[in-house]
Amino acid sequence: MEKVISQQEPGHHRILNALGDELGLSWVPWRLMLAHALVRPLPEDMAGRWRRIVYQSAGVKIGPKTMIRGVLYLRGGRHAVRNLTIGRDCLIYPPSSIDCCAPVTVGNNVTFGPGVTIVTGTHEINDPCHRAGSLLPRPVVIEDGVWLCLGVMILPGVTIGQGAVVAAGAIVTKDVPPHTLVGGNPARVIRTLEMEVRR
């Protein structure tokens, strides 16, 4: 039998961990906490490039020329930062909330309207004593050129096809075909969008 050696945590680590548990911050990587502290005082709709640089410094993969207009709320534990990839030339309006229990991939030239929520974690249905069973993380993909309008919610395992538009307030429960306009709860295809590039 392999011997397990336990080491006592230093006193200051125990204090910080206890404080983190009390404030609900124990799962937040310290670099992400620092990033939030640096960007939160900035007026919304300003310093979008500065916010990108700060979140990049925290470990989030963000392409050039992407603008983040407010605080980017990331959830998903210690892996939240490494599970998020945002492409170039994107525009993200606050407040946006991204659950990164599983990978979230955002393509190039994507626009998030205010109040967009992306969820990657769901649960298996358990017995009557506790219905929310084990966590089931499922990745979300937002392809190039997508526009997510005001208050859109994307649920686990969904892919939004290239050039699609998701109408305000829609809840997306299944994959969205490329170059379509979808809306409603659950979101359904409203019409096909033209694919010709305007110059």
> For residues 30 and 39, what is the distance between their CA atoms, to the nearest angstrom?
14
Q: Could you give the residue numbers annotated as active site? A: 123
Tokens 């906490």 identify what position?
Answer: 33
Answer for the pair 149, 184: CB distance below 8 angstroms, yes or no: no
Which string of DSSP letters, residue by residue, matches 29-95? -HHHHHHHHHHTTSPTTS-HHHHHHHHHHTT-EE-TT-EE-S-EEEESGGGTTTTEEE-SS-EEPSS
